[in-house]
A and B are shown apart, each in its own frame.
Chain A
């Protein structure tokens, strides 16, 4: 027996003890790989998985923000739609022509309340104080009432891209243009009566005969003037003039209950009541008209309904034209709600996908670096027993010396 017997025994004990220490560490931390050196591929893989979990958590936070915004937005849009429905029913009531002047005043007041409600809803703030319908100007009140009672939009139509799931982005900015951009009238033409009209006629754009012509008219900026004249034989004739060109002319049926239709530039105009000689109407291509201006118009028309048949006709003309616009806004609002719903649905399904991705990444990371407890504990026991046995064997063997027997 020479010195290497002792040094070798010492080294092998040290090696066993190092491994036992490692195993104890694994049991204590639950991790088999605690440094990159222990298993570079697993360590880096687990780090990447951890980064994925972090990114997904951040995306979940984004989803919560967007959902909150969209939930507030859909609620606000629903309330605006209700308010608008109310305005619509008032307008229809006013159109029926049975109301007294007092009734008109009351209706005007109700519409005014509806307007204030809509302005308030358009300026809805989310829980974090941001204005929802402002594009990316979220910290500025987007709809501002000017001294004249008009409401102007000071937001924008910008976008704000947010990733809600790996590779899936949504626009987190909602433009206030849903309250400003619907087209007036029936979205092709908007009809206004000349203020000096003396007849009881109203003319409303009620449909389109030729879509291409109607679109061309809407996109142009040239209004059509529709004027009426009594002919010598007592018949009422109309002339439609665009600039200096006469588009159409003819006799209109003015008998009681008749609702003759005149077609100009593909737009169908329906006449009701009786025009007087010299009455005229301006048929304008539809342009964006804010919901506020439109409702304000109804309110103002109801506030001064006039007493003469001619004045009442003017009021009816304004309200009737606005009713067409109300329909545009109803479409726009339900469209916006629908779109918000789609994004909400997308964020919800992204949330599900993210949760699954996060679980997968976590379990993957765990697979890579976690200690296999049964295996570790078995090995620990095994190693401890082996070390003990080796130490016993050493203590016996180190006692062996030929000198003892001589």
Chain B
């Protein structure tokens, strides 16, 4: 008899086990799409006959387990962080690219301006052409303004997003702390663990996180980049510090203000922080470009004559260098930087930290370890800048110097008057002498003519140099022989220089007036011909309808300058646009990779811990059959009992 009753007893335990399993299948199917849910499985154990129940069977109740995989889950967290960061960066880099090439392409605007100046050179008195050039100049500065505006709008947006996402992350951190407490009260609670996994997954889109188990309850400590955000004591809230909209936001956690270090793959917040840096860097490069173009054009303006007969004034208004003394300075030194050569400023647009020590001043490029020793004598000269120092600096004093802060935003065309465009050469030659009324009187036995002119930083070798103080006066070249001549200032009747014709030509270099924007440079004219003793040639200011200086301005665009990235102004713009384009392209490619990594990680986790409906269907039918079989055992045993009773 024991055989029959133990069969009934075992079958009964099987019935219970199967219904437990079917219940689990039901639970699994119901939670198929619940975030964080890991499929449950039932672990049954065969019972020993006589121990807890007669006839063996399975131990009742069966153990329901959560099919979790901590490694796959943490892979998903990491992939989540990398993917959110990459997609954030993709958006930011595309916006930078768009700022430079979208509405109002910088390269396009600049090339139009310089090309039209070239056309103006052939017809300098053409009012329509002058207006075209001025309109081009307006368009160029507007393009820089727009690009700079787009970038600062982007930094403002990123700043706001950082704050918003930090708030979201804090909410998740708070939830995790709460879950930890609940788990301490109910260790290993499966639904709490599901919620924990869902929360961690959400948090990992904001930050890259690592988790460490706190005991066996299932509670976890959460860290990012070595900073603990959640531990037994609770959550450390993340705070954002950004005094000015242009400042890089600084993150720190908890009451102790531990700094938070997020990498460029550190979730949406890490992605935003690196996007912020990329945007401000792009802005600085844009400032440098605007400053370089403005500076070169303004420099060329200062080398030519306007329609009013004066040396041209700046066509583009630009930004002045900025100086910020460090808070702890003890000396009285005041720094006054000025830009001497805009195209020689560092093209990264980065500023310097100037610090004073016993051995003099030194400058370090912000964000790098590159440094320059500047000595102690004012003005300090540094890559296109002169920095005048007044007062006394104490060792340890330091200053932040920004070469052209906000130059792209500040770029403006200073004039709408066509006469302000300096298209003409400063001096013009006439063979013979020229009366005050402008009449040319030529009784030269020989011939003298102008063959070319140029602007140089130093007079050519052998050139007769006319000092800056005489600039603007009329000069006569009086030949004392068929090769030697004196340069005589007709205003003051003094001989300023003398020179010789050799090989049929001679150079005369006129120093631009000191104090002007072109001070230190020379307009040099080459004369050729076969002069005779007693001959006279006159160099007088004017020739307002010449287009030579317009041509010089136009040449800025393509002129080789090895100091510029890309070797020329055009090259520098191409380099800037190419660089941002490549960065955007790389960000997009990376985003594709991180998305596929995330899919893989999610699929891997799902393979292990997800709910597969086919699996569940198969299990359901299996458990149903087991249930039916167990029930059959009971009915069979009952039939056997009946036949036994009938027999008795």
Contacts and interface: CB of A to CB of B under 8 A. Distances in A.
Interface of A: 1-4, 7-8, 11, 35-41, 43-44, 47-48, 50-51, 54-55, 57-59, 61-63, 65-66, 128-130, 135-140, 144, 152-164, 169, 172-173, 175, 177, 180-181, 218-221, 285-288, 401-403, 406
* 5 nearest A-B pairs in the assembled complex, by CB-CB distance: A36-B581, A158-B428, A62-B122, A37-B584, A51-B111
Contacts of B602: 4, 7
Nearest to A48: B574
Q: Which of A4, A50, A65, A162 has the most CB of B within 10 A?
A: A162
A177 B599 CA distance: 83
B474 to A, nearest CB: 12
Interface stretch (B11-19, B163-171, B264-272, B539-547): B539-547
B562 interface: no
A3 B557 contact: no
A161 B97 contact: no
A162 B121 contact: yes
Nearest to B29: A403
Contacts of B94: 35, 37
A1 B614 CA distance: 6
B12 to A, nearest CB: 25
A47 B558 contact: no
B210 to A, nearest CB: 25
Interface of B: 32-33, 93-94, 97-98, 100-101, 105, 107-108, 111-112, 114-116, 118-119, 121-126, 424-425, 428-432, 434, 437-447, 449-453, 482, 532-534, 540, 542-548, 551, 554-555, 557-558, 570, 574, 577-582, 584-585, 588, 595, 599, 602-603, 606-607, 610-614, 617-618, 620-621
A51 B570 contact: yes
Contact of B606 (A3, A51, A130, A153): A3
Contacts of A169: 551
A234 B437 CA distance: 55
A136 B424 contact: yes
A402 B620 CA distance: 10
Contact of B97 (A36, A58, A66, A140): A36
A402 B547 CA distance: 86
A288 B443 contact: yes
29 contacts: A4-B603, A36-B100, A37-B93, A37-B582, A39-B585, A43-B581, A50-B108, A50-B111, A54-B112, A55-B557, A55-B558, A58-B115, A58-B119, A61-B119, A62-B119, A128-B123, A136-B545, A156-B429, A157-B450, A158-B429, A160-B545, A162-B551, A169-B551, A172-B121, A177-B431, A180-B440, A181-B447, A288-B443, A403-B617
Given A8-B599, A35-B101, A218 B610 contact: no
Contacts of A58: 115-116, 118-119, 554
Nearest to A6: B33
A128 B442 contact: no
A169 B611 CA distance: 78
B123 to A, nearest CB: 4
A59 B33 contact: no
Contacts of B115: 51, 54-55, 57-58
A57 B112 CA distance: 10
A139 B555 contact: no
Given A128-B126, A159-B452, A177-B431, A219 B533 contact: yes
A2 B606 contact: yes
Contact of A159 (B122, B447, B453, B542): B453
Contacts of A175: 449
B440 A44 contact: no
B179 to A, nearest CB: 23
Contacts of B547: 160-162, 172
A44 B570 CA distance: 10
B429 A157 contact: yes
Nearest to A402: B617
A136 B614 contact: no
A39 to B, nearest CB: 7
Best-surrounded residue of A138, A164, A220 (most CB of chain B within 10 A): A138
Contacts of A288: 432, 442-444
Contacts of B582: 36-37, 40
B589 to A, nearest CB: 10
A401 B437 CA distance: 105
A189 B424 CA distance: 39
A44 B98 CA distance: 14
A342 to B, nearest CB: 16
Contacts of A403: 613, 617
Contacts of B603: 4, 8
B356 to A, nearest CB: 42
Contact of A160 (B124, B555, B614): B124
B114 A44 contact: no
Contacts of B444: 287-288
A265 to B, nearest CB: 14
Given A62-B119, A162-B121, A172-B122, A36 B558 contact: no
A44 B574 contact: yes
Contacts of A41: 578
| Listed residue (B32, B115, B534) with the most chain A CB atoms within 10 angstroms of its CB | B115
Contacts of B610: 2-4
